[in-house]
Structure 1
């Protein structure tokens, strides 16, 4: 089974870092967030990936084309231009990188990689968020649902503490540190998809996956939500990147399920 990762957006809300590299290549602990996402899938036995590239796609291609050399010790003998590899810390991954266009919408990017998925079930996520989602459990849940698509739903906490006040005296009755936001579940971006998903992408490159395709699948009663109650965090801003790096550096990175 393949995991498809959307990695082609401009990342404008993280422009401090993405003026030179695509957002999925912004680092956490010295490794691109894309690498962290792939390590999560790999932990559950998913080692074949299709990356939907776009903005500065050559950076992603260069990284994986030279991954072996980036992650091993070597001796370079300049007298005869030879290289001796001393060890190998590479991954057992097969990575297909597809240029899906600079301005293509999410649905259009997915449609463009249909030929590489072929007629088989696939996993799908965005290249800018990390989670400790149990991938095998989502697959089991999807099997039991008999649907076209399963999305992982998450209920985020609020950004600020909340006060419970006495309505008559305005005295503070209790204080909640970052309670559930507005108590709504949101799309956390980890999907299990049947190949019939491609049939719902009908507007070419302009198709926004989260609009008509997902809305129509839901209207037909063919979408289920896997409720994830663990950790999930997108990297939308520089502050998010700083927080994720602080978690990693402190040794408290909940998404690090691998050894």
Structure 2
């Protein structure tokens, strides 16, 4: 395998540099005779070593790289690399033996013309002073606004056409993103002149734009969702609309008493836990579903699903098991900041 080199006691720097050059991806995995990963070396590691005038291989290689299990879905690997701001990651088997070196540069990113509609017009009143001078989608998580995280995450999966539905302090969103060119995407804006809910603004969009299934995303969501997998799952069903859901557990902090009408106790459950599926605020919608929308009025996305069901359309769900957080309250925002700090600290 050209992306690895068995590191021996006699291996010199010249041999490592030569092997690194052969990979063509700017990275090399170093393994022992048993194929156990020792570490990786990148072009950047080599340049920094030269500047330090360092020639000992053991002082140059990264001996503690992040790794993933071989067979991990491609999009999960890409999402991980994006989180770590890395281009390469070693893949190992269940015994920890090196299998391959995944390089993001080798991925052929297909550009998809499905639109991503982001509802970015909310007031964010539950966040108090945090949204006094800027709309919630422009609040930073780490070094970037919430909205930019979502746009770049979808962009990196090949989705480059965005519609931003804006209202509160919309000029700040215009100023930050413009037409999207500097972020490698195409952005158009839908102006809400009044509160439209999480689906009402869809009635303002030209039907000619939305000729294929499109995504709708709440503007206060941070997630590493695989958009392509969601789209594939939606297309495999007969559903006219698919809602992303997430498992949520709630523990009642008391003993729950089940009684008959006459007061007789039937059962006692001490601090029971109940599991639910909650709405994750991410959807795939077929254009035909837009015919159900009322014109230019307040309308929420759950109501759209209810109305579609009443008209005997099939509606589906898609479970999100990975990272997801809805930033609705100050404590949610603090949690998102902490989680991002943990990810950033791995770099």
Instruction: State the TM-score, normalized to the length of structure 1.
Output: 0.76
Where 1:240 maps in the other structure, the secondary structure is: helix
| 1:61-112 deviation per Cα after TM superposition (whole angstroms, max 9, x unaligned) | 01012977xxxxxxxxxxxxxxxxxxxxx42111112212232223221111
Residue 195 of structure 2 corresponds to 103
Gap regions ≥5 residues in structure 1: 69-89, 166-172, 254-258
- Does residue 247 of structure 1 match 2:339? yes
Q: Relative to structure 1, is the Cα distance of residues 162 and 131 closer, same or farther in structure 2, using a 3 angstrom cutoff?
A: farther
> 2 CA distance for matches of 1:225 and 1:136?
15
Q: Show CA shifts across 1:94-146 (max 9, x none).
A: 11122122322232211112346332221111000112222111111111112
Change (3 A) 1:67 1:137: closer
Look up the match of 2:140. Answer: 27
Q: CA RMSD in A?
A: 3.0
Q: Secondary structure at the match of 1:183?
A: strand
Distance 2:232 2:327 in 1: 28
Aligned-partner SS, 1:202:
coil
Counterpart pick for 2:228 among 136, 144, 154:
136
| 1:9 alignment partner in structure 2 | 122
User: Any runs of at least 4 consecutive aligned residues in structure 1 with deviations exceeding 6 A, and if so which?
Assistant: 160-165
Which one has the largest radius of gyration? Answer: 2
CA distance, structure 2, for counterparts of residue 59 and residue 23 of structure 1: 11
Which runs of 5 or more residues in structure 2 are unaligned?
Answer: 1-113, 257-269
Residue 42 of structure 1: which of 137, 152, 155 is its match? 155
For the residue of structure 2 that corresponds to 1:210, the secondary structure is helix
Contact 1:149 1:223 in 2 (8 A): yes
What is the deviation of 1:209? 2.8
Q: Is the 8 A contact 1:28 1:244 kept in 2?
A: yes
- State the Cα deviation string for residues 7-37 of structure 1 (Å, max 9, x = none): 1111110122111111111110121100111
How far apart, in 1, do the equivalents of 2:309 and 2:322 lie? 24
- CA gap of 1:251–1:143, structure 2 versus 1, over 3 A, is same
2:323 to 231, 238, 247: 231
Q: TM-score if structure 2 supplies the norm length?
A: 0.58
Indicate the structure whose relative CO is greater, using CA pairs within 8 Å and at least 6 residues apart: 1
Query: Aligned partners of 1:115, 1:153: CA distance in 2, in Å?
Result: 27
Q: How far did residue 54 of structure 1 move?
A: 0.7
Instruction: Give the aligned length.
Output: 223
